[in-house]
């Protein structure tokens, strides 16, 4: 067997199952299969293995599902791909083939249902990796911060990494040579996810992803034109293969494989007493008319229902576009969709929902802030913004002067929502580490050397 050309990427992980993305390579003459086998750490007997026949439809990749796992248990696994001259082989019959597995061992831990356990997550966005003729130039710059995250993970294992957008820049060469073909876009994913430090991190830490605009085009869909349909289709096919396939948006089929028929890109998942709702803020936008909205009607309804019904201690909402504060300029953020944002805020306030935290990226700056209401003293909502993982010299970092802070955000009826910064605005490459312990959520922003450069503490109620 050969080592995966991309991956393995450990995605959606629960107490009972784990989804792992593996990519092989094409072989025009032979059938190609991917395989994974696993065992509990400390045991000698491997599982029979899970296999999948790879096809060009999914760029020679698949997400394999390990089922029947035990909660809060550490596993190790091997992953790879191989070809066979027998085109009549199936994922069941290849189990009889004697295989020499790649020697590398990967490890992961299933989630714990135990409430009140300390949990740690890393969030971040906007990882720029410049490509020249499909080859990364100075790739160590785009991978450096993942070395720092990996070191943090070794000190105390992370429960998950949540990437909130712009994991790749499909449009990085738009001025000179725009990428619109699937082959070129997929090469960007292959390069971005195959760098050593991010590859090592994602192989053993549950990784959740959501797209923002640069997975398609800057400020999508505001900048789209009549020729962009092909671009969109190719970009979203690549997104589905490389980012979405190993996440919770896919349902599981009765045979234990992922159902490729996606209903939508947004999703939710739980981790003990922490619930997450990851919004799709790009592909459902309505930009004009009375129904102007950032997210579609079905998604908004699902979000409201999730907010009201969740019994988790902390409810985290991921918005690739910064939910708050607003930027001074531009209409790409929630300020331009104020009516929908107001409905979300009023749902939280009118139902007295506690410990709601928005996590965002996008602006190439990081911060924490809180929102209060003039007529509801007990109301408070928090925002954590973390961006960028790796900037480019072509783009500036955000500064406090670029934002509307320490003042009113919106007024509804006779009540005003007012915002206050609870950290400084970080204007350098960084990621956020969220530690939830007892009645506190500690937010530490780390630079690409791993040093803590800013911290904030959110009191939970």
Q: Please give the pLDDT value at position 139.
A: 78
Q: Which residues of 222-232 are buried (b: 16+ CB within 10 A; e: fewer)?
A: eeeeeebeebb
Q: Find the mean pLDDT for residues 410-419.
A: 96
Q: Please give the pLDDT value at position 68.
A: 96
Q: Is the pLDDT of residue 305 over 60?
A: yes
Q: Find the mean pLDDT for residues 363-371.
A: 97
Q: Find the mean pLDDT for residues 201-223.
A: 95
pLDDT interval class at 174 (50, 70, 90)? low
Q: Which of 112, 42, 107, 106 is nearest to 80 (CA)?
A: 106
CA distance 367 to 404: 13
pLDDT tens sequence across 229-276 = 999 999 999 999 999 999 999 999 999 999 999 999 999 999 999 999
**Interior angle at CA 164, CA 160 and CA 169, nearest 5:** 125
Cα dihedral across residues 291, 354, 207, 137: positive or negative = positive
Q: Is the pLDDT of residue 288 over 90?
A: no
Q: Is the pLDDT of residue 176 over 60?
A: no
Q: Please give the pLDDT value at position 250.
A: 97
Neighbours of 88 (CB within 10 A): 7
Q: Please give the pLDDT value at position 330.
A: 87
* CATH 2.60.40.10 placement within the chain: 6-109
Q: Which of 251, 227, 253, 249 is nearest to 240 (CA)?
A: 249
Cα dihedral across residues 211, 212, 218, 220: positive or negative = positive
Q: Is the pLDDT of residue 381 over 90?
A: yes
Highest mean pLDDT among 77-81, 83-87, 116-120, 177-181: 77-81
pLDDT interval class at 133 (50, 70, 90)? low
The mean pLDDT of the chain is 94
Q: Which of 101, 89, 17, 77 is nearest to 53 (CA)?
A: 89
Q: Find the mean pLDDT for residues 151-176.
A: 88
CA distance 262 to 269: 16
- The pairing of strands 356-360 and 367-373 is unpaired
pLDDT tens sequence across 142-158 = 899 999 999 999 999 99
- The pairing of strands 207-209 and 160-163 is parallel
Kindly state the greatest CA–CA separation across the chain. 73
**Residue 457: φ, ψ to 5°:** -120, 125
Q: Which of 161, 248, 155, 228 is nearest to 198 (CA)?
A: 161
DSSP letter for 252, please: B
Q: Which of 189, 7, 25 is nearest to 108 (CA)?
A: 7
User: In Å, how far from its chain's centre is CA 335?
Assistant: 23
CA distance 245 to 155: 29
CA distance 354 to 377: 12
Q: Please give the pLDDT value at position 372.
A: 98
* CATH 3.60.21.70 placement within the chain: 119-459
Q: Is the pLDDT of residue 422 over 70?
A: yes
Cα dihedral across residues 73, 92, 59, 217: positive or negative = negative
CATH of the domain spanning 119-459, picked from 3.30.70.1400, 3.40.50.2300, 3.60.21.70, 3.20.20.20: 3.60.21.70
Residue 194 and residue 5 in contact, taking contact as beta carbons nearer than 8 Å = yes
Q: Is the pLDDT of residue 175 over 70?
A: no
User: In Å, how far from its chain's centre is CA 437?
Assistant: 23
Q: Find the mean pLDDT for residues 286-314.
A: 95
Q: Please give the pLDDT value at position 115.
A: 84
DSSP 323-345: -SSEESS-SSSGGGGHHHHHHHH
Q: Which residues of 311-323 are buried (b: 16+ CB within 10 A; e: fewer)?
A: ebbbbbbbbbbbb
pLDDT interval class at 138 (50, 70, 90)? confident
CA distance 81 to 33: 6
CA distance 412 to 352: 17
Neighbours of 191 (CB within 10 A): 18
Torsion region of 330: left, alpha or beta (phi above 0 gives left; psi -120 to 50 gives alpha): left
Q: Find the mean pLDDT for residues 209-219.
A: 95
Angstrom CA distances, 366 to 205, 322, 432, stand at 23, 10, 8
Q: Find the mean pLDDT for residues 292-302.
A: 97
Q: Is the pLDDT of residue 412 over 70?
A: yes
CA distance 60 to 251: 21
Neighbouring residues of 437: CB distance < 8 A, sequence distance ≥ 6 = 118, 119
CA atoms within 13 A on the CB side of 209: 26
**What pTM was estimated for this model as a whole?**
0.96
Fold topology of 6-109: Immunoglobulin-like (2.60.40)
Beta-bridged to residue 291, according to DSSP, are: none
pLDDT interval class at 394 (50, 70, 90)? confident
Residue 319 and residue 213 in contact, taking contact as beta carbons nearer than 8 Å = no
Cα dihedral across residues 434, 10, 209, 133: positive or negative = positive
Assigned token pair, 12: 């959606």
Q: How many residues in total does the chain contain?
A: 461
pLDDT tens sequence across 311-335 = 999 999 999 999 999 999 988 999 9
pLDDT interval class at 178 (50, 70, 90)? low
Residue 25 and residue 6 in contact, taking contact as beta carbons nearer than 8 Å = no
């Amino acid at each position: 067997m050969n080592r995966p050309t991309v991956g393995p990427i450990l995605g959606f992980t629960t107490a009972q199952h784990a989804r792992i993305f593996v990519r092989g390579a094409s072989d025009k003459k032979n059938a190609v299969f991917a395989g994974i086998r696993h065992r509990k750490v400390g045991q000698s007997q491997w599982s029979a293995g899970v296999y999948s026949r790879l096809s060009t439809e999914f760029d020679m990749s698949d997400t394999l599902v390990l089922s029947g796992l035990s909660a809060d248990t550490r596993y190790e696994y091997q992953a790879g791909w191989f070809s066979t001259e027998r085109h009549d082989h199936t994922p069941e019959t290849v189990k009889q083939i004697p295989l020499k597995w790649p020697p590398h061992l990967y490890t992961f831990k299933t989630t714990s249902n135990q409430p009140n356990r300390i949990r740690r997550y890393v969030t971040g966005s906007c990882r720029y990796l410049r490509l020249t003729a499909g080859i990364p130039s100075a790739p160590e710059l785009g991978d450096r911060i993942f070395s720092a995250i990996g070191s943090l993970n070794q000190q105390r294992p992370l429960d998950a990494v949540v990437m909130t957008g712009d994991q790749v820049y499909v449009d990085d060469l738009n001025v000179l040579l725009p990428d619109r073909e699937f082959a070129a876009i997929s090469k960007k994913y292959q390069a971005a996810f195959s760098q050593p430090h991010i590859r090592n991190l994602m192989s053993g830490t549950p990784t959740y992803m959501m797209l923002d605009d640069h997975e398609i085009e800057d400020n999508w869909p505001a900048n789209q034109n009549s020729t962009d349909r092909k671009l969109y289709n190719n970009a979203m096919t690549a997104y589905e293969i490389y980012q979405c396939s190993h996440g919770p948006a896919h349902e599981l089929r009765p045979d234990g494989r992922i159902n490729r028929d996606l209903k939508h890109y947004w999703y939710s998942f739980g981790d003990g007493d922490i619930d997450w709702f990851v919004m799709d803020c790009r592909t459902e936008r309505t930009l004009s008319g009375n129904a102007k909205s950032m997210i579609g009607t079905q998604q908004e309804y699902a979000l409201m229902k999730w907010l009201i019904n969740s019994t988790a201690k902390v409810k985290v909402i991921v918005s690739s576009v910064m939910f708050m504060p607003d930027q001074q300029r531009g209409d790409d953020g929630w300020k331009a969709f104020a009516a929908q944002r107001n409905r979300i805020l009023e749902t939280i306030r009118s139902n007295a929902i506690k410990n709601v935290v928005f996590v965002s990226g996008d602006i190439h700056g990081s911060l924490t802030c809180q929102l209060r209401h003039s007529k509801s003293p007990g109301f408070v909502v928090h925002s954590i913004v973390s961006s960028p993982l790796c900037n480019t010299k072509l783009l500036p970092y955000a500064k406090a002067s670029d934002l509307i802070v320490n003042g009113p955000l919106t007024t509804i009826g006779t009540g005003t929502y007012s915002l206050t910064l609870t950290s400084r605005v970080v204007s350098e490459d960084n990621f956020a580490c969220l530690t939830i312990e007892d009645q506190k959520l500690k937010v530490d922003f780390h630079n690409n050397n791993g040093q803590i450069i800013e911290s904030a503490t959110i009191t939970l109620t």
